[in-house]
Amino acid sequence: MKQLHFRHLVNFVLPEKRMKEIASSYDVVDGPNDEGEMFTRPGILVDAFPSPYPNEESARYANGGANPPDLSVYTTAKHEGLDYIFALLLGYRDPPAGIEVRDGLYYNVYFPGGLIGMPSPLHSDGLVDYEDGTPCTKSQMAKDVVNFLCWAAEPAHDERKLVGLKAMSALFCGTFVVGFWYRSMWIGFKTRRIDFTKAVM
């Protein structure tokens, strides 16, 4: 998730102090320093999420030749991205008769072509313990993943909508005030009566 940073999770997932601890547990390549060399340092809140692969070649090798996509904007970049990801997570099946699946590929009814290089990430129920006692089913975990990816695509979505609501409210109040002022200033001109009388010679 290249577009998501540790700071985006502050007060949404964990408090700032805890997020700093998590960020500092990762080594980040930075630089160059005064000597022109790259160096590693503990991560900070402004750093992006670390990639699980050092480069694209290793990512392809670990995923059967397919480069994993950047999921930070996937829900908004793909048409009906939310529904697609939810269906994809739950669409793993045994291949039907007549379809051969080579090693390293898996059959998914919702993936274009039917064969995908990613194994099922939700292979069984009970992978997560919910604090509120929510049953941990595959569909519940898929829903949580989709909701997180939707939030990751636009972390400032709620704040943006709130600012827009405030702006629309201010414009409405301003329109009312301007309308009242316009009416009070021009009411005398718009309602006056001018009579013309014939001049007496």
- pLDDT-based confidence at residue 201 (cuts at 50, 70, 90): low
Q: Are strands 115-116 and 39-42 parallel, antiparallel or unpaired?
A: unpaired
Rg (CA), the chain: 30
pLDDT tens sequence across 80-134: 888 989 999 999 999 988 888 888 889 999 988 888 888 888 888 888 888 888 8
Can you tell me the mean pLDDT for 23-44? Answer: 88
Query: What are the residue ranges spanned by the domains of the chain?
Result: 1-50, 62-173
Which is it for the CA torsion 78, 79, 82, 86, positive or negative? negative
Distance, CA of 46 to CA of 63 (rounded, Å): 29
Higher pLDDT, residue 138 or 70:
138
Residue 197: pLDDT over 90: no
Query: DSSP assignment, residue 128?
Result: S
Is residue 185 marked as binding?
no
Q: Please, what's the largest Cα pairwise distance for the chain?
A: 114
Residue 23 sits at φ, ψ, to 5 deg, of: -65, -40
Per-residue tokens: 7: 């700071």
pLDDT tens sequence across 139-193: 999 999 999 888 888 888 888 999 999 999 999 999 999 999 998 888 888 788 8
Cβ atoms of 150 and 84 closer than 8 Å: no
Q: Reduced to 3 states, what is the DSSP secondary structure of residue 159?
A: helix
The pLDDT value recorded for residue 21 is 92
pTM: 0.69
**Which of 1.10.357.10, 1.10.10.60, 1.10.760.10, 3.40.50.2020 is the CATH number of 62-173?**
1.10.760.10
pLDDT tens sequence across 41-91: 999 999 988 888 888 899 888 877 778 888 888 888 887 888 989 999 999
Per-residue tokens: 53: 């692969």
What is the secondary structure of 25-71 as a DSSP string? TSEEEE---TTS--EEEE--TTSBPPPSSSSHHHHHHHTTTPPPP-G
The pLDDT value recorded for residue 188 is 81
Cβ atoms of 88 and 111 closer than 8 Å: yes
